[in-house]
Structures are given as structure tokens and as C-alpha cells.
């Protein structure tokens, strides 16, 4: 009987293709939306992921994510270092500055000040440049931070005069080693570009040592954004976080917990979450609409065939199995096609710089959505089959 059900399905090519299209679109859109969401979240906590050796992040009690921060006094660093179980604690500064390029253009940057001694917080630099060179006064490292075209300066030296008229149509190139930037009337020299993780929201980054940042940026009473603590041998990061909170009154979170906090912050505050929810709603609507209607029409047009099978002794349970087998075949093929299409377009999105990341749960979410859509469509379609009276069908009623 299952073979007959599949032959019935394949015999009506138009509705079969329509069913496959509806389920493929649902599988693709749900998986793509989930992968896009995963990409946003992983880029959102990129500063935490870059510092994988850090056990505990210490911050102002009001800070709940790595995206929205406020600074603390430098005394917090000494207080954290005095807590039992802390092997090391280093400062990390986040600030914002307008940076003047060699050709006179300017660009807002997120300035990241890392510890002078350990350089914790500094990603590797392209072209095998030694990170220790960052300790040289006025040395900086730039990073695109997930942006495109934000590190461009005029190509010709003659076009790089901040005192003359700027030619915004002049050919440009990326900032390179040896270029000079102007920050708060301080001249700094670029060592190179780092290989840091892209950020969300995208922003160009400027790395320098904590002491250089303190000297170059406008003076502030509070400069310390985070204290990055490492647990001593035998001390669990969770226990160390509790100790630091009790001893200092500051907020202390393990790296894993701080990632979760940042994800929750984006869920509550990011407008992109609403866009993804709208995309999922569209996918579900198309899935239920197209798949449900097409399967219902197919089943209704084949009532005579089901009536013949019922008259020959097929039980309602067997007819129910046939309808669900048809929905199952469409669901299986549509899921595979949708996931494959998502993988292809996802690679194109990554090449274009979009925050796309297909994690283990994204194909699973797409498959579960297809199962739900297929079950609902089959349940709607099977109703006329279960109420079928062969005598009425043959009488043309």
C-alpha cells in the first residue's frame, strides 16, 4: 500500500513539485535564519571568544554584556589581584575615538587597550609581526572588525594632505604598516592589521597598550573596563567568580556565563532579533500555507482512489498511513534540498562578510520545523479520507 501511495504522489507532478518547493523553502529559510542568528550571537561575544585563556571577567555591577559597558577605577585591578585563588589579573580597556587618516579623512574606532606586560587581549597580527612591538610608544594595530571599506586611505601620497581639499573620489588602499594616524592630536604609527574575530555590530578596531591608550585618549577618571582574571591551580572558575564578587562587590562572570549574558542582552536589545523572528514567521506561514493547501488538494483529488482501496478492505488506519507516507517523502526530500541550498547560500554570505554560522542546532531546527509542517499538513489532508464513504464517492456526491 505504501508503494501505491508513493506512485499516486509521483503521478501528479505539478502538486508533487509544489509540495517539494514549499517544504524546501521552509527548511532553507528556517535554517538560514537560525544560522544568521548564530552568527550574530557569536560575533556579539567575539571579545570573549578571542580571550580563551581568561577564566573570569570582572566588571562594574551594572554591566551585563560585553557590548554595553561602563568603566571602573584602577583600584579594582588591585582588589581583584588580592583575592585568594587569583593567579593573575590584567586590565582591559574599551573606548571610542575619532581617528584621522593620512589623507585627512576620519573614522570612529573602538580602542582596545591591552595589558602592557602580557598583551592579553591582543589577537595575532598579520604577516608574522611580533606582538611585543606593540609596547613601543605610539604603536597601534588596526582591525576591520567585520566592516568593509572602513580602513581605506588615499592611494597616492599627493592625495594624503589633511591641509588641502580632500578628494573623496581618489583611488584608495587599505591602511598598511608604517601609516600614521592622528588621535586626539597624538600621532601614532600602524604596526599592521590583526587577525581578530569580526564584531557585531561591525566596527573598526584599534589595539594599543593600556599605558599608551591612557596617555593618548582624553583624560578620564575611570579607564578600566574589565579585569581579566585567571584561576590558580585547583580553583574552579565558578568558585573564583563567587570569591571575587564577595570580596570586591564587583560583578564577576566566567567566560561561558559572560557569553550567555551577552547573548541574552542581544535577544532583549537587538533589533536584528525581530528581523529574524519575522523571517521565521514568513517561513512557517509559507510552509503551512503551500504545503497544507497542496497536500489537501492532492488528497481531495484522489478521493476516488482512496474509495476504491477502502472498498477493497483498506482500513482507515492504512489510509492514514498512506497520507502520512506521502507527506513524509516530501518532507524528507524538501529538508535535504533546503539544507543543501542553505549551505551554498551560506558560503556566499560568508564570502560577502555577513554573520552566517551554521552550528549543530540550526539544521536540526530546520528539520524539526519541516516535521511540524508536514504533520500539520497531513493531519489537515487526512480528514476527508477518514470521513470517506465509498458509496457516496462512486455516486458522484
Q: For 288-297, write each residue's pLDDT tens digit.
A: 777 778 778 8
* Same domain as 217, residue 98: yes
Residue 239 lies in a domain: no
* Same domain as 76, residue 37: no
Residue 283 lies in a domain: yes
β-pairing, 139-143 vs 186-193, is parallel
Residue 322: which domain range?
2-43+270-394
Q: For 258-276, write each residue's pLDDT tens digit.
A: 999 999 999 998 888 788 8
- Per-residue pLDDT for 159 more than 90? no
SS3 content of the chain, % helix, strand, coil (to 5): 50, 20, 30
Tell me the pLDDT band of 170, cut-offs 50, 70 and 90: confident
Residue 58 lies in a domain: no
How many CB atoms neighbour CB 224 within 10 A? 22
* Same domain as 204, residue 95: yes
Name the nearest CA neighbour of 70 among 261, 256, 251, 272: 251
Taking the C-alpha atoms of residue 312 and residue 289, their distance in angstroms, rounded to an integer, is 33
β-pairing, 139-143 vs 152-154, is unpaired
Q: Which pLDDT score is estimated for 171?
A: 81
Residue 324 lies in a domain: yes
Q: For 320-375, write each residue's pLDDT tens digit.
A: 888 888 888 888 999 999 999 999 999 999 888 888 999 889 999 889 988 888 88
Residue 248 lies in a domain: no
| Cis bond before residue 113 (omega within 30° of 0) | no
- State the Cα torsion 166-172-175-179 to the nearest 10°: -50
Q: How many domains does the chain have?
A: 2
* Same domain as 118, residue 165: yes
* Same domain as 75, residue 24: no
Q: Which pLDDT score is estimated for 304?
A: 76
Taking the C-alpha atoms of residue 95 and residue 91, their distance in angstroms, rounded to an integer, is 13
- Mean pLDDT for the chain overall: 88
pTM over 0.75: yes
The phi, psi pair for 345, rounded to 5°, reads -65, -30
Amino acid at each position: 500500500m505504501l508503494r501505491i501511495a508513493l506512485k499516486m504522489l509521483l503521478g501528479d507532478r505539478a502538486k508533487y513539485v509544489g509540495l517539494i518547493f514549499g517544504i524546501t523553502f521552509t527548511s532553507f529559510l528556517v535554517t538560514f535564519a537560525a544560522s544568521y542568528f548564530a552568527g550574530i550571537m557569536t560575533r556579539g561575544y567575539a571579545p570573549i571568544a578571542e580571550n580563551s585563556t581568561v577564566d573570569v571577567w570582572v566588571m562594574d555591577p551594572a554591566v551585563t554584556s560585553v557590548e554595553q559597558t561602563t568603566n571602573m577605577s584602577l583600584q579594582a585591578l588591585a582588589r581583584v589581584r588580592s583575592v585568594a585563588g587569583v593567579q593573575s589579573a590584567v586590565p582591559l580597556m574599551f573606548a571610542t575615538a575619532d581617528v584621522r587618516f593620512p589623507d585627512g579623512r576620519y573614522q570612529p574606532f573602538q580602542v582596545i587597550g591591552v595589558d602592557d606586560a602580557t598583551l592579553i587581549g591582543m589577537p595575532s597580527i598579520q604577516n608574522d609581526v611580533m606582538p611585543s612591538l606593540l609596547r613601543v610608544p605610539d604603536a597601534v594595530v588596526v582591525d576591520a572588525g567585520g566592516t568593509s571599506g572602513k580602513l581605506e586611505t588615499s592611494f597616492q601620497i599627493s592625495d594624503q594632505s589633511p591641509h588641502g581639499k580632500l578628494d573623496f573620489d581618489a583611488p584608495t588602499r587599505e591602511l598598511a604598516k608604517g601609516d600614521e594616524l592622528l588621535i586626539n592630536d597624538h600621532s601614532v604609527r600602524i604596526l599592521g592589521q590583526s587577525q581578530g574575530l569580526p564584531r557585531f555590530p561591525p566596527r573598526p578596531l584599534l589595539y594599543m597598550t593600556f599605558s599608551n591608550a591612557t596617555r593618548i585618549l582624553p583624560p578620564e577618571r575611570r579607564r578600566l573596563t574589565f579585569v581579566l582574571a585567571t584561576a590558580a591551580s585547583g580553583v574552579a572558575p565558578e568558585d573564583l567568580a563567587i570569591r571575587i564578587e564577595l570580596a570586591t562587590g564587583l560583578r564577576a562572570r566566567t567566560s561561558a556565563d559572560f557569553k550567555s549574558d551577552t547573548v541574552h542582552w542581544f535577544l532583549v536589545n537587538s533589533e536584528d532579533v525581530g528581523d529574524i523572528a519575522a523571517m521565521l514567521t514568513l517561513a512557517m506561514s509559507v510552509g503551512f500555507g503551500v504545503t497544507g493547501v497542496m497536500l489537501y488538494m492532492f488528497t481531495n483529488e484522489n478521493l476516488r482512489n482512496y474509495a476504491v482501496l477502502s472498498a477493497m478492505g483498506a482500513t482507515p488506519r492504512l489510509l492514514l498511513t498512506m497520507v502520512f507516507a506521502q507527506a513524509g517523502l516530501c518532507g524528507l526530500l524538501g529538508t535535504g534540498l533546503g539544507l543543501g541550498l542553505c549551505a551554498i547560500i551560506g558560503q556566499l554570505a560568508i564570502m560577502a562578510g555577513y554573520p552566517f554560522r551554521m552550528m549543530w542546532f540550526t539544521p536540526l531546527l530546520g528539520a524539526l520545523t519541516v516535521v511540524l509542517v508536514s504533520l500539520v499538513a497531513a493531519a489537515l489532508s487526512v480528514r476527508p479520507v477518514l470521513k470517506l464513504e465509498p458509496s457516496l464517492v462512486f455516486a458522484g456526491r
